[in-house]
Amino acid sequence: MRTHPTRWLGPHPLRAGSTLPRMRCLFRFGTGFTAFLALAACGGPAPVAPAPAPPRPAPAAAPVRVTAAAAREVGADELGRVPVLMYHRIGAQPRSVYDRTPADFTAELERLAAEDYVPVTTADLVARRLDLPAGAHPVVLTFDDGDPSVFSLTPQGQPAAGTAIRILLDVAAAHPRFRPVASLYVNEHPFADPGDGRTLRWLTEHGFEIGNHTRRHTNLHKATESETIAAITEGDAEIRKAVPGYQPTTLALPFGMHPRREELAQRGPGYSYAGVLLVGAGPAPSPCAANFDASAIPRIRSQSQGREAEYGSTHWLDELASPTGHRYTSDGDPSTVSYPRSEGAVAPACASVGLAY
Ligand SMILES: [Zn+2]
């Protein structure tokens, strides 16, 4: 077992002991021709044949690099910590500590928006693709197990009322800086899909990330090496079958358990992930912090009260918002990594764009 603070947080809601069973583009909010170019450049779904070419836009001004004074002014700390929140089910009658009511979930999103958090995906985080307004904070919203309470489509092909994704879309519509993106980690047969993969396709076509959670939610610590490889490659294949051309880039470990040969979670025959998510139990280091480990990214369970609430999201969001919270705060310039000198070491990969103040 590794020595980082992985923590087992009680029985898994759907699986343990139970009989129950493209990357977001930096410029995805652009319009017109710019958006078309950006979509193509970012490998998004092939756009429909574009309308007659609009007038060529004037060249954009060269981006202004942030200064140390400007970074200090907004309290930029791009070596600060990032909450990666973990959700499983949304329901009026919570059955375990992993469930949240629609009211709880809405209130948490409203809190995040009010505190100037901006959702990004896990893929964005591990790629250090954190293009946020100055003073804003990244948050990653993750949903495990493909539960229909998280997402399902109406017969008309719209996100169903009451699902987590519908709620997220509604909150984002009311808060223009709050992007409706999230990372969803699925097993086979997610989201009550009728079998043609339409639910996963809708998600990827709308900027959501689909990640691997193994085909059958395998506890990889109990699996042999060949069973581990099969569980991961089969989960990956299920996603690619549902969304032709899509390649999952991150994986969430079922139960937060690494295989005994830990590196096999991230890389093996036929697969290589840019990031691997744990189950507990605290904020993730900045991807530009020297202690960031893409093979073991901690998450925070969404929770406000009750048993083990000290590991839950309300506790951690309170702590991150405190003066000593070491929260990631953007300098507004995606080409520079600004941080107070007191924050510590920058990862070698980010050193060339670091700006200490
Ligand atoms: Zn799970």
Domain count, the chain: 2
Residue 8 counted as domain residue: no
Residues 6+ apart with CB under 8 A from 52: none
Q: What is the average per-residue pLDDT within 166-188?
A: 97
Residue 146 counted as domain residue: yes
Residue 167 counted as domain residue: yes
Instruction: Dump pLDDT digits (tens) for 181-226.
Output: 999 999 999 999 998 999 999 999 999 999 999 999 999 999 999 9
Q: What is the average per-residue pLDDT within 154-166?
A: 96
Domain with 45, as residue range(s), is: 27-61
What's the CATH code of the domain at 147? 3.20.20.370
Residue 7 CA, ligand 1 centroid: distance in Å: 15
Residue 261 CA, ligand 1 centroid: distance in Å: 20
Amino acid in the structure at residue 55: P
Instruction: Dump pLDDT digits (tens) for 297-323.
Output: 999 999 888 878 888 999 999 999 999
Do 293 and 224 share a structural domain? yes
- Ranges assigned E (strand) in 202-274: 209-212, 250-252, 267-268, 271-272
Residue 6 counted as domain residue: no
First to last CA, the chain: 38
pLDDT of residue 63: 56
How far apart are the C-alpha atoms of 142 and 137, rounded to whole Å? 16
How far apart are the C-alpha atoms of 316 and 223, rounded to whole Å? 33
Residue 125 CA, ligand 1 centroid: distance in Å: 20
pTM: 0.84
Do 138 and 34 share a structural domain? no
Spatial contact of 311 and 302, defined as CB atoms under 8 Å apart: no
Residue 5 counted as domain residue: no
Residue 216 CA, ligand 1 centroid: distance in Å: 10
How far apart are the C-alpha atoms of 319 and 21, rounded to whole Å? 36
Do 323 and 183 share a structural domain? yes
Q: Which residues surround ligand 1, an ion (CB under 5 A)?
A: 144-145, 254
Residue 192 counted as domain residue: yes
Do 40 and 132 share a structural domain? no
Residue 276 counted as domain residue: yes
Residue 253 CA, ligand 1 centroid: distance in Å: 7
